[in-house]
Amino acid sequence: MYRHNKFGSLSRRSFLRASGSALVVTSLLSSQTSAALAETPQTAVPFSYESIIQNARQLASQTYTPPAQVGAPFTDLDYDDYRNIRFRERHALWAGPAAQAVLHAYHPGWLFDGTVALFDVSDGMAQPLQFTSDDFIYGDAALAKIPTGTALPGVAGFRINTPLNSEYQFDETLSFLGASYFRALGAGNRYGLSARGLAVNTATSEPEEFPRFSAFWLERPQAGQTQLIFYALLESESVAGAYKFTLTPGHTTVMDVVVELFFRSDVEQLGIAPLTSMYLFGVNDEGGFDDYRTRVHDSEALVVNTDQETLYRVLNNPPQLANSYFTAHSPRSFGLVQRHRSFDDYLDAEARYELRPTLMIEPQGDWGDGMIRLIEIPSDLEGNDNIVAFWTYGRGFKAGDHKSFSYRMHWGSSPAGASSDLARVARTLAGAGGIAGVKPQTDRRKFVIDFEGAVFATLSARDVVAANINIINGTVTGQVLQRVEGHADMWRLVLEVTADGKTAVELRADLVTDERKLTETWTYQWLKE
């Protein structure tokens, strides 16, 4: 939950977002394992992914030891101090004339009072990386607190720069900072939503855990190598895990993730491939915001692709905590998408929400039966990440269990799976029910859904287009379906809906003709206030 530009400088809004997670996870940073790794002799040792798996298995068999904290003078750094600390470009790892990527470290301190251990892997050998204050550039106030030559107890995380947008410039492509949070970019993107290594007991009866990556092993890229491979050890009170990441930067940046988990205690709910984003308001949910912009969000919808259909669930900023569940057997993909890509959609010259990436998760292998869970949290600030989505099973896990899985992440403006081959949901509009020009009917809500796609232009005069509509906890009191005049590839569905009470109304709709499906399935949750 952090935000920075491609040069790595963090804004106040970034730090406010970071503090939401950092304050929660401070007790989970700098574990006993990390401290032991940091004390490893400065000689290279043989390395393999199997060794991390064995380490995770051993950790899960032991009693969890809460991590230590870095302490002063690093925790004496305030917001202004920290934002003026930058990694020295000439100290970047892997830099040189034939560099395929470069690596920068994040300074410990301020809210990030824990560390991760970093190892440089080359020719099957792992070399511990050590950092001092000489690796960073400080503002005057920070320099007074962290004198020249100060040995650092570790780093808060790292970022990787690659020739993402130009072969002549190394732009930030990937960043790990705080617990198990990380973000990546496709070409032309700016940071938006985040991913996590794991979610444990999120929004359940049990306290939520924030697993953290305590150590990373980064393979030094060879000349001409287009993929970057690195590994991580994950730790929390209930689980330990070994991760392998394979990063392929590009127009759509692809990351393959392989995971081995070992449980030291029971877990009520395991969230796999968790995504975290922000939705403040949009044209379907304007809320009470007095704002010149018509949209403020990092993501606008959840997309779920199964063998049967593509679900398009428009996001909300609800009046109270909201949950949605989408049952599936090993879905083809799911993710949080940003479809509107015009500056005019947002009119924010600083945040540039039209450049925020979509992230699609593609399971590898058979994930079996489970569900995608969507959690929407009320928010009044765009600095808050209030959207969470992940895959979970209908059961929990017991101490001693072992779980393996893998998936592929697609980061970019329009990655595979973000849209269906069918006509897609172009927009969702909402407002008071009733007829325009007369007093609105406050007991109902009007939803306007525009479907757009080339499939409509191929329809003949004999084709009869109809709407399939399903509603739970409410009643559709009126509906209109029509082709939008002047737009051969667009149809509009208008629904008037009443709620049965204060229970959430669940809506689904798609368009068909002669039992042929024409569109994605639009889904929506309405909480009547």
Distance CA 67, CA 27 (A): 7
Q: Could you read off the pLDDT of 179-204 as tens digits, one per residue?
A: 999 999 999 999 999 999 999 999 99
Query: Mind listing the domains of the chain with CATH numbers?
Result: 12-412 (2.70.98.10), 424-526 (2.60.40.10)
Report the SS3 class of residue 455: helix
Rounded to 10 degrees, the C-alpha dihedral 472/476/477/479 comes to 180
Distance CA 208, CA 432 (A): 38
The two beta strands, 358-364 and 301-305, are: unpaired
User: What percent of the chain clears pLDDT 90, i.e. is strictly above it?
Assistant: 81
Report the SS3 class of residue 355: helix
Span between the terminal Cα atoms of the chain, in Å:
30
SS (H, E, C) 140-198: HHHHHHCCCCCECCCECEEEEEEEEEECCEEEEEEEEECCCEEEECCCCCCCCCEEECC
The two beta strands, 279-281 and 199-200, are: unpaired
Position 21 pLDDT exceeds 70? no
> Per mean pLDDT, which of 6-10, 94-98, 318-322 is the most reliable?
318-322
Give the mean pLDDT of 229-243.
Answer: 98
| CA 18 to chain CA mean position, Å | 14
Q: Omega into 73 within 30° of 0, i.e. cis?
A: yes
Q: Could you read off the pLDDT of 461-520 as tens digits, one per residue?
A: 889 999 999 999 999 999 999 999 999 899 999 999 999 988 899 999 999 998 799 999
Token pair belonging to 126: 């792992």
Token pair belonging to 461: 């005069």
- Is the model's pTM score more than 0.85? yes
- Residue 26 has what pLDDT? 26
Q: Which of 345, 191, 183 is nearest to 274 (CA)?
A: 183
- Residue 3 has what pLDDT? 32
Cβ within 8 Å of residue 391, ≥6 positions away: 271, 272, 273, 331, 334, 361, 363, 367, 370, 371, 372, 373
Give the mean pLDDT of 168-186.
Answer: 96
Position 25 pLDDT exceeds 60? no
Distance CA 161, CA 197 (A): 21
Backbone angles phi, psi at 426, to 5 degrees: -80, -35
| CA 108 to chain CA mean position, Å | 23
pLDDT confidence bin for 9, thresholds 50/70/90: very low
Position 130 pLDDT exceeds 80? yes
pLDDT confidence bin for 300, thresholds 50/70/90: very high
| CA 24 to chain CA mean position, Å | 18
Q: What is the mean pLDDT of the chain?
A: 90
Give the mean pLDDT of 352-371.
Answer: 97
